[in-house]
Amino acid sequence: MTDLTGKTALVTGSVQGIGLAIARALAGAGARIAVHGLAGDMEIRDVCDDLKAAGSPQAEFFHGDLRNADQVDELMAAVEAWGGADILVNNAGIQHTAPLAQMPRETWDAILAVNLSAAFLTMRAALPIMAERGFGRVINIASVHGLVASRDKAPYVAAKHGLVGLSKVAALEYADQGDPVEGGITVNCLCPGWTETAIIEPQVAARAAEFGGNRQAGIADLLSEKQPSRRTSDPSEIGALALWLCAPAAHNVTGTAIPIDGGWTAQ
């Protein structure tokens, strides 16, 4: 079992979905969790209580609009004052589907800011401190769309491809840093396919409408196009892999983009 006692993890977008599942997995291994995301006070309290019940000795919420570079810097400074991130999970993401010619410029800017630029800013702040401490894990939640493209997702695909490339650069720059006994410093991407999260709901709803509102039929039709397993992933499965990447045994797993996609990108 991976033991993260004494370690602190910042997970962006950790109030729901994949981010919350990863936070739970890390909490279960004993990590302190810096929670982040868009939520009201009651939801924040519930998430922090949930993570402490899962095993985290501390779970505290940190504000920061990832569309705003100054707020990202402030977020990282606040986390550093709390003890600093030994584990950084860049999970927060937004998406909007529309043909390239109809994609609003402000939507492009927002998606690139949240899905790519924010990860650059958090990594720029966290990685030098990880190097000083001798241990660090950066896990960037990309997507199958960091490896292949789909129609009507120009900014999302561009951002996720960029995130994979950015992660490879960081992995190379920090590959020989840190303490090999502790596990060194690694930077990796996880690339989920269809996963049961809120971000896919607009696409599920649109497809379900083609089947008279039958949600399951809509999901099945979406899966038949892309995901050969015909099964969605559960966010907890992404959390389990993220936890393993934090183990010392994963010290030589760096610079990768790991698909969790039922064979989507194998085609």
Distance separating the N- and C-terminal Cα atoms of the chain:
34
Q: Assess contact for 178 and 136: CB atoms under 8 A.
A: yes
In the 8-state DSSP scheme, what is residue 232? Answer: P
The residues assigned a catalytic role are 156
The alpha carbon of 115 is separated from its chain's Cα centroid by a whole number of angstroms, namely 9
Q: Token pair for residue 158?
A: 């561009």
Amino acid at 81: A
Q: Token pair for residue 172?
A: 């190379």
* Residues 6+ positions from 216 with CB-CB distance below 8 Å: none
- Which of 22, 192, 12 is CA-nearest to residue 85? 12
